[in-house]
Chain A
């Protein structure tokens, strides 16, 4: 079976290679080693039997011991319809490891950096988000350094500059990867915090956070959960079932992956080099400001529609080429707002002094405005806060009230008739009030679907005196999706 975009991966640490690596880490015990030995036993595949998981990611190297140890597991797994991907890490002999993968029957290998010239098997580029290889010849694009999602336990939960609690999410890097490589499936790797006995909700969120952003988490269990699953302990089985239920939910709603982020603001960048940080941080902060947005990679801008946008934030200090500048200025003169960096050469239009904003100098261009940043290295939060201020809340498509630890992502179908609002609760606990959404535009229906609900719930529109309507959601511990139909 060949690796394809529908493969649903799970990290499967097993064998002598993982034991040797584990022995170099703090807190590694004989029990943990025993679990790793158990997981190379084909009997351990019972853990994924009956689940949507169809691809196991094993540690791989040009190491005969590891290859021999995993052979029975791979053979049995392939008989059961599972694919195997070999993750080649560190200073391994990559060409030799890739060649061995082919003879061992692996569907692909994943590795950092460039693929070997004659690997024999497909190579999934497995790099950090900042080094993501969007042009690699693989249906899957790997992001190796995802974060365990949630409200960080080690930080004071009083919040960032938005005064809503800070949350760790993979949303920004995954949206960037999708924008750079829209024809690929993005896998993201992150491991559970160790040592920790994680609640089921932590795993549910770990599945839902990447899935909401159109990607797949390479599921990775903590040592204790692996041990308890091996020992067939019921609490572990319950935790695992909840995580699998979340995974199955997203497989039942594959249409979500065909939707694209929507909003009145587009963040446009090459998301590389010195401008990567501002672009990524803007995408991290916009959900905390509860601003719906789109992401446009500069390399893809020729095919991108600017229809329906109110504003574009051109993140890069590198000036656009003549064609792109013409397109951007046509957008602005047609009534849009174009936000650019301080070094934008020869800004068009006369200054508009009647609009004094802290971070942007406004210029009148046709029916629209050009907003030139006053600072060379602006603070990301100040930047997006001023952008939101200049765009005005009166135009908000959506607003989320309550649920302070929640983010939302608004996506719509290609024709715009269907939409989904992913609601992710990073506290992993239902708050005292459920999320409350303001929706500006009229829709025919709104339905809440969630693995936390026994059945979908039709949501009632509460029309607002000043226009728009509100949708009141029940309390959610981790995730729900509002399906909107126009």
Chain B
């Protein structure tokens, strides 16, 4: 199934199509507004499923989106899995929590999803996602049994597919004109980005937009990717290609448009992430802000803390959803380079807006559920507290 066909199908068939589809494909077209639901949820216990169900209802209901459809849920299993923040569990800091994944799967199954595939490209491995989960002492069967027809796929490589799927950036893109991804991102009718509410060393924040970055296969965009064709195995990270442009992706994939562009991650990544969101639109963004870590996307280096903001955010548009999440985190979603959290990088949200993905101005989006001001959990305040403690210590 081609990507644009998926979009047309959604427009034609989904009750919430007007909210979910992204009609604009170039800078000349105004980006669509989104609807974003905010909820308190302090734990991953029994309150989780009803809370998420209510949020999805506030967005127009899951049925119209997923009934009879194939859903791909891109979760976030970032970084070297063996590095945790002290004793804190990975799911309580950096990775989308398995209970939250299970809740989303359950609710999508309940809403009539025909097939649900949980996808992610975990760091430098061809292991199956259940294997990655076992290494964290999770029970993947809890997710598999949360609904009928649940699957997992590691999208770091070709996986179960016969070939990679190409997604072109409408309007031609800013750095890359398009991307080759695992077939799972084309096979789905509905694409969900289920992120963790975190800061990021190279992009300021990593939320539902940045989560899509992890869809890029290491076999094409990794440090040991094949020069001409994708490698068979995924080795290493994506930094050489995407962050610093010290090597090219496999020649089989769309190549960088202009090699004279800055080789600065703070310049490149926000544009690349926006391109990916434009090329492979997200229909539902969910951000797990129940238990997270502040100070960066992974453990190691800097001042970091495991915290409990107790909030979930979900929306029909990644830019709008991330804008709400940034506000909850104590940041200004309209901030530009030079202002936190974009002190050393451009704003991913801004390029999302430029590429017509969505709007970052909260006043132009619809925010429902708990007022944002009631759930603000200031990440800068946590940082200040940690800095003060460091000075005292």
B154–chain A nearest beta-carbon distance, Å: 10
One of B127, B232, B299 near A433 (C-beta < 8 A): B299
* A163 within 8 A of partner (CB): yes
- Are the CB atoms of B83 and A402 closer together than 8 Å? yes
Q: Which of B133-141, B284-292, B366-374 contacts A (4 or more CB under 8 A)?
A: B133-141
A438 contacts partner chain B, Cβ-Cβ < 8 Å: yes
Q: Identify whether the interface residues of B are mostly helix, strand, loop, or mixed.
A: loop
Set of chain A residues within 8 Å of B87, measured between Cβ atoms: 436, 462, 470, 472
B277 at the interface (CB under 8 A from A): no
Q: Is the CB of B124 within 8 A of A163?
A: yes
CB <8 Å contact, A404 and B82: yes
Name A395's closest neighbour in chain B (CB-CB).
Answer: B134
Q: Report A-chain residues with C-beta under 8 Å of the C-beta of B235.
A: 161
For A385, A401, A465, A470, the residue with the greatest tally of chain B CB atoms inside 10 Å of its CB is: A401
A393:B135 contact, CB within 8 angstroms: yes
A384 to chain B, nearest CB (A): 13
Which residues 55-95 in B have Cβ within 8 Å of A in the complex? 80, 82-87
Q: Mark B117-137, 1 if CB is under 8 A from A, else 0.
A: 000000111111001001101
In the docked arrangement, what's the CA distance between A436 and B86, Å?
8
For window 224-276 of chain B, which residues contact chain A by CB distance below 8 Å?
224, 232-233, 235-237
Question: Could you tell me which residues of chain B, from 139 to 156, have a CB within 8 Å of some CB in chain A?
Answer: 139
Q: B300 interface residue, CB < 8 Å from A? A: yes
Give the residues in chain A near B82, CB-CB below 8 Å: 164, 290, 399-402, 404
Q: How far is the CB of A120 from chain B (nearest CB, A)?
A: 53
Interface hits, A387-407 → B, CB 8 Å: 389, 392-394, 396, 399-402, 404
Would you list 5 pairs from A and B whose C-beta atoms are within 8 A, ordered by A residue?
A: A389-B127, A389-B128, A400-B82, A433-B85, A470-B87
Q: Which residues of B contact A399 (CB under 8 A)?
A: 82, 135, 137
> Given contacts A392-B134, A468-B137, are A436 and B124 in contact (CB under 8 A)?
no
For B126, what are the chain A residues with a Cβ–Cβ distance below 8 Å?
358, 385-386, 389
Whether B125 contacts A466 by the Cβ 8 Å rule is no
Residues from chain A with a CB closer than 8 A to the CB of B232 are 358
Contact B237 A163 (CB under 8 A): yes
Contact yes or no, B138 A466, CB < 8 A: yes
Known A389-B126, A404-B80, A436-B84: A163·B236 in contact at CB below 8 Å? yes
Query: How far apart are A159's CB and chain B's nearest CB, in angstroms?
Result: 8
Which of A161, A396, A404, A433 is close to B124, meaning CB atoms less than 8 Å apart? A161
In the assembled complex, A234 has its CB within 8 A of some CB on chain B: no
Contact A396 B135, beta carbon cutoff 8 Å: yes
Is the pair B80, A164 in contact by a Cβ cutoff of 8 Å? yes
Of all chain B residues, the one with the shortest Cβ separation from A431 is: B300
Q: For the complex, what is the distance from the CA of A438 to the CA of B90, rounded to whole Å?
A: 14
When chains A and B are docked, how far (Å) is the Cα of A370 from the Cα of B237? 32
- Name B204-236 residues within 8 Å CB distance of A: 224, 232-233, 235-236
Q: Mark A147-169, 1 if CB is under 8 A from B, else 0.
A: 00000000000000111100000
Query: Which 7 pairs from chain A and chain B are nearest by CB?
Result: A393-B134, A393-B135, A394-B134, A466-B137, A389-B127, A401-B84, A433-B86
> Looking across the interface, which residue of chain B has its beta carbon closest to that of A436?
B87
- Neighbouring B residues of A389 by C-beta, 8 Å: 126-128, 131
Q: Contacts A163-B80, A402-B83; is A466 near B233 (CB within 8 Å)? A: no
- The reply to whether B137 and A464 form a contact with Cβ atoms under 8 Å apart is yes
B-contacting residues, A266-310, CB 8 Å = 290
Residues of chain A within 8 A (CB-CB) of B236 are 161, 163
Task: Please name the residue on chain B nearest to A386 by beta carbon.
Answer: B126
> What's the Cα separation between A484 and B299 when bound, in Å?
28
Q: How far is the CA of A389 from the CA of B122 in the complex (A)?
A: 14
A398-441 to B contact mask, C-beta < 8 Å, 1/0: 01111010000000000000000000000000001100101000
Judge whether B131 and A392 touch: CB under 8 Å.
yes
In whole angstroms, what is the CA distance A161 to B137 when docked? 23
**Chain A hits for B123, CB < 8 A:** 163
Please, which residue of chain A has its CB at the minimum distance from the CB of B126?
A358
Question: Measured between alpha carbons, how far is A404 from B86 in the docked complex, in Å?
Answer: 12
Report the nearest A residue to B302, measured CB to CB.
A432
Known: A161-B124, A385-B125, A399-B82. 14 other contacts (CB 8 A): A162-B124, A163-B124, A290-B82, A358-B232, A385-B126, A392-B131, A392-B134, A396-B134, A396-B135, A400-B82, A401-B83, A402-B83, A404-B80, A436-B87
Residue of chain A at shortest CB distance from B123: A163
A392 to B128: give the CA distance in the assembly, Å. 10
Q: How far is A194 from B87 in the complex, measured between Cα atoms in Å?
A: 39
Considering the complex, give the chain A residue whose CB is closest to the CB of B80: A163
Cβ-based interface call for A255 (8 A): no
Residue among A432, A438, A464 making CB contact with B300, cutoff 8 Å? A432
Q: A34 in the interface, Cβ–Cβ < 8 Å?
A: no
CB distance from B226 to the nearest CB of A (A): 14
- Give the docked Cα–Cα distance between A309 and B234 (Å): 29
* CB atoms of B84 and A402 under 8 A apart: yes
Q: Does A382 contact B (CB under 8 A)?
A: yes
Q: Once the chains are docked, how many angstroms separate the CA of A399 from the CA of B135?
A: 8
Interface residues of A in 436-486 (CB under 8 A from B): 436, 438, 462, 464-468, 470, 472
List B contacts of A385 (CB < 8 A): 125-127
